[in-house]
Amino acid sequence: MYQPSTLSPPLLTKALLRAVEQLGLAAGLPSLLNSSPEEIAQLQSGARSLDPQRPEWEAALKIVGMFRATVEVLGSAERARVWLATPNEALGGRPFDLLATVAADRVHRYLSSVRKYELRMPPGTRHPNRSEH
């Protein structure tokens, strides 16, 4: 995951907007960041950047980290988007539905676990096309 000290607010804002667009999460951004639609519109227009002193910063770090992890494990943003929309028995629902709830940390821990497992596998045995992740 990105470290807060290594990112400027404009850079994290840009990474967040790119990630949610590629994952098809843009419409859910107000609930994901616990921000008003007006604040999200300001981010999208460039009128403001994410604020490291607000909870939106930590939420953005998690979303961008999740984007990177899902693309790394699944091989593409399209596969990551499908995974987010598919019910996952281990998580007890669709990962997308869980992201704006207290269960979001469970999705992040699950992805971290899968990512660590996949990265330990020899390259020829990794399964980037598996949809059960």
85, part of any domain: yes
Q: Which domain, by its residues, includes 43?
A: 4-125
113, part of any domain: yes
Q: Count up the domains in the chain and report the number.
A: 1
92, part of any domain: yes
119, part of any domain: yes
Virtual CA dihedral for 121, 68, 11, 6, nearest 10 degrees? -30
99, part of any domain: yes
> Phi, psi (5° rounding) for residue 126?
-70, 150
33, part of any domain: yes
> 16: exposed, middle or buried (C-beta count within 10 Å: 0-12, 13-18, 19+)?
buried
The CA–CA distances, whole Å, from 3 to 7, 53, 115, 120 equal 7, 14, 18, 23
Which is nearest to 84 in space by CA: 73, 98, 72?
A: 98
133, part of any domain: no
By three-state DSSP, how is residue 9 classified?
A: helix
Q: What percent of the chain has pLDDT over 90?
A: 56
pTM score, two decimals?
Answer: 0.78
pLDDT in tens, 75-132: 899 999 999 999 999 999 999 888 888 888 898 889 888 877 765 555 554 455 554 4
50, part of any domain: yes
The letter for the amino acid at 75 is G
